[in-house]
Amino acid sequence: MDIYDISARRNAGEEQSLGDYRGQVLLIVNTASRCGFTPQYKGLQALQDRFGARGFSVLAFPCDQFAHQEPGSDEQIRDFCETTYHTTFPLFAKVDVNGPGAHPLFAWLKERKGGLLGSAIKWNFTKFLVGRDGSVLDRYPPTTSPESIAPRIETALAAE
């Protein structure tokens, strides 16, 4: 199985195959609206604006597993992201990233890039950079700003 065999429900309810992103560089992020890292939405949108036309996309997956920092409905989350941060990148439905109910995408990502203290995701805004070939290139902790990942995205976009 590879990343392109996985599908996820978009924020508006439709299923989307990650195969639709084949050949793109992706930054997959578990997000939350009431977190100290929530302002990173601005940096994520800046990456989308800067690199989107070159085959890059941020994929945001809201998660409420960390201190109940994403309590809203999918509709409330979408409204928050669009009105507060003017996001245009794909927003998916709320998922679990850890435990027995973890979404298959996050189980797959963690299997390929464990964290410093094990594979579990420790907090909101953990980021996974996926190359054009579907391989997981890097995993970044929540404290890594989106802007600091730009050079690595540039390198991944240049790779054929």
pLDDT tens digits for range 33-65: 999 999 999 999 999 999 999 999 999 999 999
Q: Active-site residue 81, yes or no? A: no
Catalytic residue among 27, 35, 44, 77: 35
3-state secondary structure of 80: helix
Domains of the chain: 3-158 (3.40.30.10)
156-to-61, 80, 146, 152 alpha-carbon distances in Å = 22, 30, 15, 6
As to burial, measured by CB atoms within 10 angstroms (0-12 exposed, 13-18 middle, 19+ buried), residue 12 is exposed
Q: Which of 19-23, 57-61, 117-121 has the lowest mean pLDDT?
A: 117-121
Query: For the whole model, what pTM was predicted?
Result: 0.96
